Structure 1
Amino acid sequence: MLYAIICKDKPDSLQLRLDTRPTHLAYIESLGDAVKLGGPFLGEDQNPFGTLLIVEAESLEKAQEIADNDPYVAAGLFASREVTAWNWVLKKSADA
């Protein structure tokens, strides 16, 4: 099943995001095909202020585990985080 991981950064945390980004990206890459798509939310200034990640997992608990292990979480970047089941209906990728 697919799950959306939706995170919003704490205020004034751009530098923390930038400093942690290489470790975060390495973690996301380590998840392999479980990651279907993802990227940052951008503000009007084009700076990132949050994250959307769509992952495939066996259960909500496993998707939560993926979210919990993100280096951004360990760094304390997020003000909020939500993990919820998601149904890919429109323009679904052929390899999803």
Structure 2
Amino acid sequence: MSYIVRGNFRAGAGEARLKVRPDHIRYVISALPGIVCAGALCGEDRLPRGLFLLLDCEERAQAEAFIFNEPYYRADLLDHVEIERVLQFAPHPNPRVLHEELEKALAAAS
């Protein structure tokens, strides 16, 4: 199972975020085996407004531990964090998973 973690930066966190960014990058690198994907949440101006991480973990407590140890979080740069369980379909270890789900949906609809 996976959890998605989304965090929004506090207003005016830009300069402080840049100072903490090297620690953030080191933290993400150290956790790469458990990260499905990650990136910045940006506005239309392409400036970072927050972050997201899709974490491969079985329990919510693992996702919470990850974000609570995240350098941006520890520096109090995030004003809102959301953690939700995700059922990932693409990419998926079974390349036919979407076709199989479509076949099930069509069978159930008839």
Please indicate, yes or no, whether the TM-score normalized by the shorter chain is above 0.5. yes
In structure 2, what is the equivalent of residue 43 of structure 1?
Answer: 43
Say which structure is richer in strand. Answer: 1
Deviations 1:21-79 (A, max 9, x none): 11001001111310010001111221101001000113111111011100001111101
Say which structure is richer in helix. Answer: 2
Partners of 1:35 and 1:67 lie apart in 2 by: 12
Give the total of aligned pairs. 93
- TM-score (ref. length: structure 2): 0.79
Give aligned-pair identity as a percent: 26
Instruction: Let me know the Cα RMSD of the aligned residues.
Output: 1.2
Aligned-partner residue type, residue 17 of structure 2? R
Q: Which runs of at least 4 in structure 1 moved beyond 3 Å after TM superposition?
A: none
- TM-score (ref. length: structure 1): 0.89
| Relative contact order higher in (CA < 8 Å, ≥ 6 apart) | 1
Whether 1:31 and 2:31 are equivalent positions in the alignment is yes
